[in-house]
Chain A
Amino acid sequence: MATRDPAGWRLAEVWGDTVDLRHLAWSIAIGIGISVTGFFLASRWLATVVASQQLAHAYAMLAGLAGCVAAGVICARAFPPKREVTEQDTSTDPAWRREVLEELAAQPGGLGSVADLPPAVVQELKELKLYDLFVQNAQAAPSTQTQTQTAAAGRAPR
């Protein structure tokens, strides 16, 4: 069977996420194998037990779908995800914050001023410890933007 060792993986992006090509081939074989077997076995058996043929046909599909889910569970157990999930607290990452503030300032509406905010939103920003960040950046005129952003970034982590 295919390897679980990451060093032997051949990674590719299929349908929006990374997979290992050998694991993918196995998964497709397992998916088709179990669901089709389930479907045909169920239709044979049900044809002899259930009186209405139409209902037997529908239940056979249910068996096939159960097969799909079973195949999914088997593949999830056999093949580990090709994702690396980290759990960093990025609220202290000044580079990301600067990037976002630049993007927001470039939007048609710009950064805006905290003076325009309803009190509830000001409260929300303060609770999230984002209030100062926006105040400092909004005060900066576009010409001095780079300078204040560095300053804000230095002050941001708390």
Chain B
Amino acid sequence: MDPQLLNDIAVAAAMGLVGAVVFAAIGLVSGTDETTTLAPLTLLVVLLGVPPAGVFTFFLAGAVAKHMTHAVPTALLGIPGDTLATPLLQDANMLRKLGVPHIALRKMVSGAIVAAFVAVPLAVLFAVMLAPFGAAITKTAPWIFLAAALLIAYFSAGRWASVALLVPFVVVIIALQALTAKYDVKLSISYFLGIAIGPLIADLFTVIAPAGRQRMLRDQVRQFNLAPDVKGWSGYFPNPFKVMDRVQTRWTLITATISSATFVFSPVAMTVVLGELVGSRIKHAYHRLTTVLSARNGVTEATYIAEALIPLIAFGLPLSPVAAGPAAPLFNAPPRFTVDAATGQTHNLHNLLNHWEFLGYGMLAVLLAAVVSYPFAMNFARRAALFVSRRVSHEAIIATFVGLIIVISVWEGQLLGLLVILTMGLLGGLLSRNFGFNTGVQFMGYYTAVLSVPAIVKLF
């Protein structure tokens, strides 16, 4: 074997293992949104000069591992592990109240592992099919981003309000860019991190104001009940095909396939819609709960994998909500990876890895995540959930994220970076809370400002 290839594989395996371990742990902590955790850590890996194969495997192993362990707080404590776990909460809660939360957990984690393994080859296949149109799409990228932004806005909770809100939101981004350009500073990470962490920034501003604080005050601490766990198998690595029955495996495969193909839609929306589709086909209530949970958590994996892989392999442009958010550093991490706004020229993982490498390292990432996260979630879920809920205070999580915002923004643009992240975070958080103008739409708004607006201006 070629020693260079061998070296690449070794680096990829090591980075993938790091990603899987780190994000399996992060998945246990509720409220750790994918974008706020995956994006900065992947960015760091890029900027430290890790080879392309290592960067890619790190990101994917992390994403897959997190979407297995996010089932732990969701099933056992009744609090969503992250944004994509929210659609799973209702069904998981019902199983918890029936006294069988461990069943909810096992079905979810098994659905995730099965879906992840089929999603990678499918995503690569779809990307290869789309690749011939890559050149045409790159050329018309500004208009495609505009159309995607409008579409994603309409399908968000805010509907027409979100479509209309794109205008002022984009204007603010352009204004901030003009401001920083005066000092020869060009920022990108501060914008999307600000958007991702917006709800926290908006909440912190609100709690300082006396009127806002009144609304947020609580009389007592939050109550959780951690249900007992029952181990239903022997050994360390339970067989997912035995945890799920045949109907569940079939639906998980079907929904994983559908969500691997539909890469432009919001992952949360896909999880909700495909779950409803499955639920309408299952007659018995208990079977419906468990099957929908398996399929839904499978979709959280498949849609993430496809939404990151397809745009990356086929176009090199961040043309999906995941690619524009959590996976953004794979596309755009100046000075190492760049997307040129004016010409649509790219220099990123799209140019640095070929189709076979994407497939190989993709499967390696899923395998590593499966080896780390799957048995961990299956065997130690209860102990881990107890540790996090009794030892890690919410203040500690907020302290970490506030530090993160400041370090990344100051690192990127000194004082200007800090001003941009505060402004974007406050605006984005308030719009998301009050109008359902969610972070996915906001990311597309950012790309509209960067790519579409210059093209529109050129028309006049």
> How many Å lie between the Cα of A110 and that of B280 in the bound state?
10
Distance A6 CA – B218 CA, assembled complex (angstroms):
13
Q: Which residue of A lies closest to B248 (CB)?
A: A121
Q: Identify which of B48, B77, B232, B395 contacts A75 (C-beta below 8 A).
A: B395
A128 and B398 in contact (CB under 8 A), knowing A81-B393, A85-B224? Answer: no
Q: Which of B217, B224, B410 has the most CB of A within 10 A?
A: B410
Which residues of the partner chain A approach B216 to less than 8 Å between Cβ atoms?
12-14
- If the complex has contacts A87-B225, A99-B97, are A34 and B213 also in contact, measured as CB distance less than 8 A? no
Q: Give Cα A154 to B385, complex, Å.
A: 32
Given A11-B220, A80-B393 in contact, is the A32-B406 Cβ separation under 8 Å? yes
A104 & B207 in contact (Cβ 8 Å cutoff): no
Contact A117 B284 (CB under 8 A): yes
The answer for the CA separation of A81 and B92 in the assembled complex, in Å, is 24
Is A76 on the interface with B (CB-CB < 8 A)? Answer: yes
In the bound complex, what is the Cα–Cα distance between A140 and B83 (angstroms)? 39
The smallest C-beta distance from A2 to any residue of chain B, in angstroms, reads 10
How far is B400's CA from A32's CA once the two chains are assembled, in angstroms? Answer: 9
Which of A1-48 touch B at CB < 8 Å? 6, 10-21, 23-24, 26-28, 30-32, 34-36, 39
> Interface with A: B7-15, B98-106, B116-124, B373-381, which one?
B98-106
B-contact 0/1 string along A66-103, CB 8 Å cutoff:
01110111111001111111111111110011011001
Contacts of A99 in B (CB 8 A): 97
* Bound-state Cα–Cα, A116 to B106, Å: 23
Main secondary structure of the interface of B (DSSP, over half): helix
A141 at the interface (CB under 8 A from B): no
Chain B residues closer than 8 Å to A76, beta-carbon distance: 391-393, 396
Contact in complex: B398, A31 (CB < 8 Å):
yes
In the bound assembly, the distance between CA atoms of A110 and B401 in angstroms comes to 43
Cross-chain contact A121 with B284 (CB below 8 angstroms) = yes
A93 near B393: Cβ-Cβ < 8 Å:
no
Q: A14-B204, A110-B285 are in contact. Are A58 and B395 (CB under 8 A)?
A: no
B90 nearest CB neighbor, chain A only: A103
- Which B residue sits closest to A95, measured CB to CB? B97
Task: Count residues of A near B (Cβ-Cβ below 8 Å).
Answer: 85
B403 touches A15 (CB 8 A): no
How far apart sit A52 and B386, CA to CA, in the bound complex (Å)?
45
In this assembly, does A108 line the interface, its C-beta being within 8 Å of a C-beta of chain B? yes
- A108 to B373, alpha carbons, bound, how many Å? 35
A67 to chain B, nearest CB (A): 6
Cross-chain contact B403 with A12 (CB below 8 angstroms): no
Cα distance A81–B282 when bound, in Å? Answer: 41
The reply to whether B97 and A90 contact each other, CB–CB distance below 8 Å, is yes
A residues within 8 A CB of B77? 85
A64 to B389 CA separation, bound complex (whole angstroms): 26
Verify if A151 is at the interface (C-beta below 8 Å from B). Answer: no
Nearest residue in B to A137 (C-beta to C-beta)?
B285
Q: Is the CB of A103 within 8 A of B207?
A: no
Q: Which one of B282, B389, B395 lies within 8 Å of A27 (CB-CB)?
A: B395
Query: From residue A52, how far is it (CB to closest CB) to chain B in Å?
Result: 9
Pairwise interchain contact B390-A85, C-beta atoms closer than 8 A? yes
Check: B31 CB closer than 8 A to any chain A CB. yes
Q: Contacts A100-B94, A109-B279 given; indicate if A75 touches B406 (C-beta within 8 A).
A: no
A92 to B97, CA, bound (A): 10
A17 touches B31 (CB 8 A): yes
Determine whether the beta carbon of B225 is less than 8 Å from that of A68. no
Q: How far is the CA of A85 from the CA of B390 in the complex (A)?
A: 7
**Would A89 and B99 be within 8 Å (CB), given that A18-B394, A80-B393 are in contact?**
yes
Chain B, 270-298, CB within 8 A of any chain A CB: 279-280, 282-289
The answer to whether B31 and A124 have CB atoms under 8 Å apart is no
Which residues of A116-141 have CB atoms within 8 Å of chain B's CB atoms? 116-118, 120-121, 124-125, 127-128, 130, 134
Question: When the two chains form their complex, are residues A69 and B400 in contact, meaning their CB atoms are under 8 A apart?
Answer: yes
Q: Which residue of chain B is the closest to A34 with respect to CB atoms?
A: B403
Q: A12-B218, A19-B394, A104-B285 are in contact. Are A62 and B99 (CB under 8 A)?
A: no
Give the residue among A6, A64, A72 with the most B Cβ atoms within 10 A: A72
30 residue pairs of the A-B complex, CB under 8 angstroms, read A6-B221, A12-B213, A14-B204, A14-B394, A16-B30, A16-B79, A17-B31, A17-B79, A18-B394, A31-B402, A32-B402, A36-B406, A59-B48, A67-B407, A68-B403, A68-B407, A73-B396, A76-B392, A80-B393, A81-B389, A84-B224, A85-B77, A86-B226, A93-B99, A100-B94, A112-B288, A118-B246, A121-B245, A121-B287, A124-B103
List 14 extra interface pairs beyond A100-B98, A121-B247, CB under 8 A.
A10-B217, A12-B216, A17-B31, A18-B222, A28-B398, A34-B403, A35-B406, A64-B410, A65-B40, A74-B399, A90-B225, A91-B227, A112-B285, A128-B100
A residues whose Cβ falls under 8 Å from a Cβ of B: 6, 10-21, 23-24, 26-28, 30-32, 34-36, 39, 54-55, 57-62, 64-65, 67-69, 71-76, 79-93, 96-97, 99-100, 103-105, 107-114, 116-118, 120-121, 124-125, 127-128, 130, 134
Residues of B within 8 A of A (CB): 30-31, 40, 44, 47-49, 77, 79, 94, 96-100, 103, 199-200, 203-204, 207, 213, 216-228, 232, 245-247, 279-280, 282-289, 335, 386, 389-404, 406-408, 410-411
